[in-house]
Amino acid sequence: MPRLALVVFLLVLLWPGFRLTEFDPAVLFEAHSRETMGKFVSTFFPLETSAEFLRLVARSTLETLAIATAGTALALLLAAPFALMITRTLSISRIGPGPGYVLGRALRLPVRFALMFLRSIPEIVWALLFVRAVGLGPAAGVLAIGITYGGMLGKVYSEILESNDTRPAAALLETGSGRMAAFFYGMWPVALPELVSYTVYRWECAVRASVIMGFVGAGGLGQQMELSLRMLSGGEVSTILLVFLLLVVLADAVSAFLRKVTA
């Protein structure tokens, strides 16, 4: 009975949201909607398999992987130092009041705000800005992913470090070790599997994001899909979607392999 009451309560809370978004699944099953969707889906077959188009898709696929990988690497360069700065367990001032206590707290606050600012703006908005700054092409996608995901990774890295067993790191700090020694010997071995798993997950998200950003001129499969949609070439679109599905499968396989290696 309590569970049923909870479900009813949640539905009551969600109902205004459904009304606000004009969510009505019944529209999908109306005759006009079924006919329109059927005509649209029928244009996706047969798939475009000409040698020239497949070469173009292969190049765009490599570009998409390069954007996602380079963007994630840039995000790591931003996130790693920020995460160490805001991880309170690695703060020497937490051992007890001292000359660096106030300074440590004052430094962590702007870093937290910077991470919040970086991740609060969607990557497609950053991509639009960088397309204006550096021009059309994959460079804008790399910068957009690097900045947005840098904020996300920095926050989550810090939370992962804080959520694991922090006693070894605290003990090292209390015996006079430096912050980096406390991190590498007290936190890194325990947190490594979670850090790797989340990083690979974010790389998988970066692959998807790079496709979306292609619609605003940031290169990769997304830009090629946008051109195919403009030309109303459904066969080309379905081929690109199939390649994109294979990319997600590849990312999942890489994630599973790395989790096994670091476990």
Burial class (CB in 10 A: 0-12, 13-18, 19+), 253: exposed
Output the domain CATH number for residue 243.
Answer: 1.10.3720.10
Confidence of residue 75 (pLDDT cuts 50, 70, 90): very high
The rounded distance, in Å, linking the Cα atoms of 33 and 27 is 7
Other CB atoms closer than 10 Å to residue 71's CB: what's the count?
A: 29
The rounded distance, in Å, linking the Cα atoms of 198 and 189 is 15
CA atoms within 13 A on the CB side of 234: 10
Q: Residue 9: inside a domain, yes or no?
A: no
| Helical packing angle, 220-230 and 234-262, nearest 10° | 160
Say what percent of the chain tops pLDDT 70: 89
Task: Name which of 6-10, 97-101, 118-122, 238-242 the model is least confident about.
Answer: 97-101
Given a contact cutoff of 8 angstroms between Cβ atoms, the answer to whether 192 and 31 are in contact is no
Q: Residue 57: inside a domain, yes or no?
A: yes
Q: Residue 25: inside a domain, yes or no?
A: no
Maximum alpha-carbon separation in the chain: 74
* Mean pLDDT value across residues 109-115: 83
Q: Residue 147: inside a domain, yes or no?
A: yes
Q: The tokens 């367990």 sit on which residue?
A: 89
Q: Residue 81: inside a domain, yes or no?
A: yes
Q: Residue 131: inside a domain, yes or no?
A: yes
Burial 115-146 (b: 16+ CB within 10 A, else e): beebbeeebbebbbebbeeeeebbbbbbbbbb
The rounded distance, in Å, linking the Cα atoms of 42 and 194 is 43
Residue-wise pLDDT tens digits, 12-62: 777 776 677 766 677 777 777 777 777 777 777 888 778 888 888 888 888
Number of folded domains in the chain?
1
Q: Residue 11: inside a domain, yes or no?
A: no
pLDDT at 105 over 70: no
pTM score of the predicted model: 0.78
Other CB atoms closer than 10 Å to residue 169's CB: what's the count?
A: 26
Given a contact cutoff of 8 angstroms between Cβ atoms, the answer to whether 166 and 185 are in contact is no
Residue-wise pLDDT tens digits, 82-94: 888 887 777 665 5
Range of the domain at 125: 51-262
Q: Residue 26: inside a domain, yes or no?
A: no
